[in-house]
Amino acid sequence: MTIIDNAVYVGGIRSADPTSLQQTYETLAERGGMAWIGLYRPTAGEMASVAEEFGLHPLAVEDAISAHQRPKMERYDNNLFTVLRPARYLDSEEVVEFGELHIFTGEDFVITVRHAETPGVARTRHRLENQPELLAQGPEAVLYALLDQVVDDYAPVVAGLENDIDEIEDQLFAGDPNVSRRIYQLSREVIQFQRAVHPLEAMMAQLASGSEKYHVDIETQRYLRDVADHVQNVTARVDSFRQLLQNALTVDGTLTANRQNAASALQNEEVKKISSWAAIFFAPSFVASLYGMNFVNMPELHWAWGYPMAVGLMIVLGATIYMIFKRNKWL
């Protein structure tokens, strides 16, 4: 069953709980008031039914069925179609999960369409039912409350991302080899979050500009301005996250380059030492190999001082080469 909650409100009080869409239409026609229909992944037939009853625009209905829409607000005559991207932070996985909420509002109805688990809608309905004076202001009040709930739910997401960024800073200077991958993954989440949050500023401005034309209650206008302030705060925080992650990526690249340079310098020092000792041992080996040749006609072969001279030559050559490398700081 795709109908999650379905009610008719009169004067801000829940006066009927229809069991079907048709019953909702009949109750609304008899009693007046406002219908609030909550749908979860509705079928094309169900959307066609509410579209015909409330005069929803085909383009908005198509968007609601297909989902995967960006946050936006579009007006079709007296009906308003709003798309929001709720988000929640999953502590166990340290990731941000995004949902999608479509809201149709008209003179006497609100239709919410969800394509993912969005508990904020149920909380909003419960909150409004406990504030009948606010709910009595009509669909505009419901839209405000849904916007307010979505923006409020961004606060734990902001806190979770902020904590992740703090952990990344610790990983950077601890030399964690996995920090680059985590920075990249977190950057993608921040970009998605920006895409969910940034359009809200224009949407709030659009609501404010149309308040007088569509006779939105002055108290609801005040509430909407409060939501707009919260949106600006969230947007500023998310933008700062993007900058922090870019800086972290730059620092990671610098630290990685420094570690590679240090390792290369250490390797060069080791190569110098090995080359130096190889050269030192080469000189005695050369002398020994020269006098080790078994030719009959060879100068100094039978000379009494030949052996001491050869040994002395080995020592002198080795010591000379050692001093040269020592002076050049290769040893």
* pLDDT 10s digits, 31-82: 999 999 999 988 888 899 999 999 999 999 999 988 888 999 999 988 999 9
Number of separate domains in the chain: 2
Residue 196 or 323, more confident = 196
Helix (H) or strand (E) holding 274: helix 218-291
Q: Is 239 exposed, middle or buried (0-12, 13-18, 19+ CB in 10 A)?
A: middle
Q: How far apart are CA 164 and CA 167, in angstroms?
A: 5
Domain identity same for 192 and 318? no
Domain that holds residue 304: 265-327
* Two structure tokens written together for 178: 């996995």
pLDDT at 215 over 90: no
At 285, the pLDDT band (50, 70, 90 cuts) reads confident
User: Does the structure show a pLDDT above 60 at 211?
Assistant: yes
Considering the domain architecture, whether residues 169 and 308 belong to the same structural domain is answered as: no
Q: With beta carbons less than 8 A apart as the criterion, state whether 211 and 137 touch.
A: no
Domain-ending residue, one of 211, 232, 256: 256
Q: Looking at 108-122, 185-199, 269-283, which range is the least confident one? A: 269-283
Domain ends where: 239, 256, 273? 256
Higher pLDDT, 217 or 224: 224
**215 and 131 fall within a common domain:** yes
Question: Of 256, 282, 306, which residue sits at a domain end?
Answer: 256
Q: Which residues pair with 281 in a beta bridge?
A: none
The CATH code of the domain that includes 235 is 3.30.460.20
Q: How far apart are CA 329 and CA 331, in angstroms?
A: 5
How many whole angstroms separate alpha carbon 221 and alpha carbon 211?
7
Eight-state DSSP code of residue 19: S
